[in-house]
Structure 1
């Protein structure tokens, strides 16, 4: 038996069973009238994470675990069908917000392919699969980094994390391209790059200076907004140069 929940907004967060993604899901779900799909490579990991914060989910909201490995075409296809079916069965028109959070921070040029497989190719593959079920006026949030800024990285005294930084520069490029495509379509779908800051997560062996529960706030704020700019790159303090 399904529940009629047409008034709820819907969100899909990839790489969401821990760290920044988990806190993003949690904080969105603390607001009323939302359904948040929690994408995780291991379904049990998502289920365990949800169990840890289930008592603080808003009574009018839901968190739904989804098996999602963005490097696996079959997993992406199955996840997109699952989300589309869930929305249809619950009389929801489509997905409102896609948050491309899944990423790795592999540090050497030798690991360039592995890094791009997740951060760029996986992000592009998931977005391509999910885009047909998105509502007009929604948003695609690409989680990026200041390390992806060509202008800022050129000012560093030494080269750092070539695989990671170049992958985030590629993600920023996709943000601009996708934003222009949506403007041409007249869909009203915003596409932005967001830098959440240097968060202490597995991606940097927990060496970050920010708690992910704080770093995710700019993501959550942007996700919950129903209007805003598109084709921009920013953090909590304002715009970041490309």
Structure 2
């Protein structure tokens, strides 16, 4: 099961897993995109691909997706919690409802899907959960405060589950990509942010699947991203906050989101 499968990193996961012969449950809001993707992957790779459109910001939607999959006789052996979005701008100017939806999708949906999928994995004695966090999890993000906080939650949550379940056959991995070559920054209204070179989504997926095979609790794709991840341990936190603020300070009207 791949959430946020219609674009970006989620789309790259769908293609990579289908190429390895995995049947897929594709989840996103866009039903048309999902149906087209499911047909394409099924025809190209000879797999079963099912599209389940859902808005995971809604309470109970995550559990409902797994129930719908179960009614089709599908139980995910691998769950990839990729769906998420960010808001960018001055915290007080961004709509509160939008920021609460951000928390719901980036955190609550991850918890609900993981909680619903784990029992079947544990009964088989095998399974995997990949949660897409971000290098945003490694330090606070002024002007993207909610996004950074939600990704810190995802990282902490994932590593805790890694320790709980690795002796019971279920692997859990947090993926912390840096800037990735998707529409993320363009749509969020932070295209001008000084985020450096953007990694291909396919590379993020390849690195994460390799880390999963190695039993890692988390992975930060890219040497430069790993080096940046160490900076908060080396420099005063106030210095890190100033650096990040300079990178992300809005240069467009505040309030855009993706």
TM-score (norm 1): 0.74
- CA distance, structure 2, for counterparts of residue 16 and residue 98 of structure 1: 12
Q: Is the 8 A contact 2:12 2:205 kept in 1?
A: no
Residue 35 of structure 2: aligned partner: 47
Q: Which runs of 5+ in 2 are unaligned?
A: 233-258
Aligned Cα RMSD in Å?
2.9
Q: What is the aligned residue count?
A: 213
1:193 CA drift (Å): 1.1
Residues 24-57 of structure 1, C-alpha deviations (whole Å, 9 max, x = no match): 202221223x101111123323113334x44873
- CA distance, structure 1, for counterparts of residue 43 and residue 29 of structure 2: 24
Q: Is the 8 A contact 1:196 1:215 kept in 2?
A: no
Q: Which runs of 5+ in 1 are unaligned?
A: 1-11, 89-93
Residue 133 of structure 1: aligned partner: 120
- CA distance, structure 1, for counterparts of residue 163 and residue 202 of structure 2: 26
Residue 117 of structure 1: aligned partner: 104
Q: Is the 8 A contact 2:63 2:112 kept in 1?
A: no
Specify which structure has the higher proportion of helix: 2
| Equivalent residue runs for 1:5-84 within 5 Å | 12-32=1-21, 34-51=22-39, 53-54=40-41, 57-59=44-46, 61-84=47-70
Q: Is the 8 A contact 1:102 1:118 kept in 2?
A: yes
- CA distance, structure 1, for counterparts of residue 55 and residue 185 of structure 2: 20
Residue 235 of structure 2: aligned partner: none
Instruction: Answer with 1 or 2: which has the greater Rg.
Output: 2
Residue 155 of structure 2: aligned partner: 172
TM-score (norm 2): 0.70
Residue 9 of structure 1: aligned partner: none
- CA distance, structure 2, for counterparts of residue 181 and residue 230 of structure 1: 14
